[in-house]
Structure 1
Amino acid sequence: MNELVLPLPHSSSLTPTGSSKVQLPALITNAGDRTSQRFIEFFLVSIRNPNTRAAYAHAIKHFIAWCSDRHLQFFDINALTIAAYIEQHPGSAPTANQHLAAIRSLFSWMVSGGILQRNPAAEVKGLKHRVKIGKTPVLSDEEMRELLTSIDVSHVVGLRDRALIATMFFSFARISAVLGMKVEDYFQKSKRHWLRLHEKGGKHHEVPIHHKAEEYLDQYMDAARLWEAKGTPLFRTAVGRSHTLSDRGLQRQEAWAMIKRRARDAGVNTDACNHTFRASGITNYLRNGGSRDNAQKIAAHEDVRTTALYDRREDTISLDEIERIRL
């Protein structure tokens, strides 16, 4: 597969004019210096979100490799090429559609930069995909209690893990929003503490914190001595097995590995992932009489239909009903 290695904006190797610092696939470099420069700018200028940048780079890398395997050049790519790629895409419909979105965005950028006259992906249709129920694994209330109580909180790393999981569960927060928090984003307003969550698009979402999550966060803050550490990450990485914390913020992959380990040790659903606590919290809230509209506000969803994907109350009802079938 062709290489696509792009420096991130904070990389010391990035220079305003030097494309030689970036390793590009031959399909792009063969199209000329202007195309190569515009290609680099697509990732580093037009895309600010690092997660979107990584996802689009992955998608474009696979598409370019597919084209190269068929001996296509950049200016040979047309609507039929892109349609054929999507048609035979080995991934799920959402993955294929994400790849199409990346391809469409790249060629739109090429058009706006004068490299192409028209976008060959503009009229290519994505695959039909309709989701009514989310696939995120959800923990039952009993499993959530078992998970939280199973964590060894005799040291600061255990206190961190419990506080992180509780924060996601009780605030319906995305993992990236929580990990993006600084110490000052856990703040007091009136008599209660609030969270300032860093949402997509640079938006901040403020939500009052549940008393149980507040208790866990306070204990973690005390043990980690973070109250005066303004401007530093709230949730930090552990230093090896020393049961101490570094100054570096915890990353999503590290949080995922921690959750997998904690779920296994607690004997709960080992399919649990970073999004599990968002879905589990929303389901718990709705089961206990909360409204879907308010769940949408707490979760900072743009559309209530997104919130509905996290509502898993019907999972239990379906299992109860199926047991009515008897021989």
Structure 2
Amino acid sequence: MSDSIVLKSNSSVLSSSGHPEILLPAIVVEAGESTARRFMEFFLVSIRNKNTRMAYAQAVKQFLDWCEDRGLEFSGISALAIAAYIERHPGSAPTINQHLTAIRSMFGWMVTGGILKDNPAAEVKGPKYRVKKGKTPVLTDEEMRELLDSIDVSHVVGMRDRALIATMFFSFARVSAVLGMKVEDYFPKGKRYWLRLHEKGGKYHEIPTHHKAEEYLDQYMDEAKLWNEKGTPLFRTTVGRTRKLTERGLQRQEAWAMIKRRALAAGVNTDACNHTFRASGITNFLRNGGSRDNAQKIAAHEDSRTTALYDRREDTISLDEIERIRL
């Protein structure tokens, strides 16, 4: 991490390594340099995951802007004010709870740093919410085949897209874990190739590569001439529409846009997203006799309840069952 931390009183910006990341609210700047610095440290020091950092930054800034609009000072924010904010929050229950967690964590960091005596968010409760089934769009087996078969693989970009989608589907991996792979993270072990996935918390998760994903990855690696490009991203961006790969790794939003284009072109569920293939792969695995325990291990889920959210076997209602309804 770079030591360059910028603090400005107007349109305050928090930046690390020269890249603006988090807007520093005026209410924090007005609270003094020690408060502002501790606030910055909460995001840059205590949160290592970039996605979590940005989600928390958005949530905290939204809350502090709300406080500022009501004339509150940072040190004067009370549990009552936080409860009022949560009560009026327009988001869904999961969003509200995530925002409350971000607010509670930020104030907790202030307490441990000696900025505040107590955490005003410690006792504030969010809405109750229990999920039994995930909402991620899932592709049927037929749709998965149609999607993969529809991709034009006469050029390296098509090979890249097919290999990326197949890797997510057959490994149950998060898109960030797959996009974080380097060339050497696709490696031989015994008679087969394995995947080394970059999971949350800096953990590595190694699993054997499904033969179909291995076939697609090999073709992509051959065409892109990546076998000797150790230390560089496995899945790369292109130079405009030239179909020439760069040395820069593909980002989540770019992968999402690609999937939307591919789904539309294939005529399959256009609600498909990066997470779709994780859910589709797990559902396929369970439908074909795989156990939930093994699905949990492959997906690197800490809790079996998380794996259960991806089990969408009950989503499909057959016509025969519908015809049981009679008048």
TM over 0.5: yes
* 2:169 and 2:278 in contact (8 A); partners too: yes
Aligned equivalents of 1:23 and 1:168: distance in 2? 34
Name the SS for the 1:237 alignment partner: strand
Q: 1:277 to 1:13 in 2, by over 3 A?
A: closer
Residues 4, 57 of structure 1: 8 Å contact kept: no
Maintained 8 Å contact 1:178/1:198: yes
1:262 paired residue number: 262
1:133 is matched with 133
| Alpha-carbon RMSD | 1.6
TM-score (norm. length: structure 1):
0.94
- Structure 2 counterpart SS, 1:72: coil
Whole-Å Cα distance in 1 between the matches of residues 320 and 79 of structure 2?
A: 49
The residue aligned with 2:94 is: 94
- Give the letter for the 2:14 counterpart: L
SS at match of 2:15: coil
Q: Are 2:153 and 2:159, in contact at CA under 8 Å, matched by a contact in 1?
A: yes
Q: Residue 197 of structure 1 aligns to which amino acid in structure 2?
A: L
Please give the residue correspondences for 1:258-297 in structure 2 after superposition, counting only pairs within 5 Å: 258-297=258-297
**Change beyond 3 A, Cα 1:148–1:12:** closer
SS of the equivalent of 1:7 reads strand
- CA contact 2:186–2:196 (8 Å) conserved in 1: yes
2:212 maps to a residue whose letter is K
CA distance in 2, matches of 1:319, 1:273: 28
Aligned to 1:194: 194
1:58 partnered with 2:55: no
Deviation by residue 1:51-93 (Cα, 9 ceiling, x = unmatched):
0100000101110111111111111101111111111110000
1:24 Cα offset (Å): 2.3
Return structure 1 stretches of 4+ with deviation > 4 angstroms: none
Q: Report if the CA contact (8 A) 1:3-1:61 is conserved.
A: no
* Residues 1-327 of structure 1: pairs in structure 2 closer than 5 A: 5-8=13-16, 10-11=17-18, 24-317=24-317, 321-327=321-327
- Any gaps of 5 or more consecutive residues in structure 2? 1-9
1:118-144 CA-to-partner distances (Å, cap 9, x unmatched) read 100111112100000100000000000
Query: Where in structure 1 are there 5+ consecutive unaligned residues?
Result: 15-21
User: Bigger CA drift: 195-204 or 79-88?
Assistant: 79-88
Contact 2:14–2:20 (Cα < 8 Å) also in 1: no
Task: Using structure 2 for the length normalisation, give the TM-score.
Answer: 0.94
Partner Cα distance (1:13, 1:151) in 2: 37
Q: Cα deviation per residue 1:38-62 (whole Å; 9 max; x = unaligned)?
A: 1111111111110010000010111
CA distance in 1, matches of 2:122, 2:319: 44
Q: Which residue does the alignment assign to 1:19?
A: none
With 68-77 and 225-234 compared, the bigger mean Cα shift is at: 68-77
2:7 alignment counterpart: none
**Would you say the 8 A contact 1:79–1:123 is kept in 2?**
yes
Deviation of 1:5 after TM superposition, in Å, equals 3.8
- The one-letter code sitting in structure 2 at the alignment partner of 1:224 is A
Q: Rate the CA distance shift 1:5–1:184 in 2: closer, same or farther, 3 A.
A: same
Tell me, in whole angstroms, the C-alpha distance in 1 between the residues paired with 2:59 and 2:306.
24
Please tell me the residue identity of whatever aligns with 2:218.
D
Percent identity between matched residues is 78
Cα distance in 1 between the residues matched to 2:275 and 2:14: 28
Question: Once the 2 structures are TM-superposed, how far is the Cα of residue 321 of structure 1 from its aligned partner?
Answer: 2.7
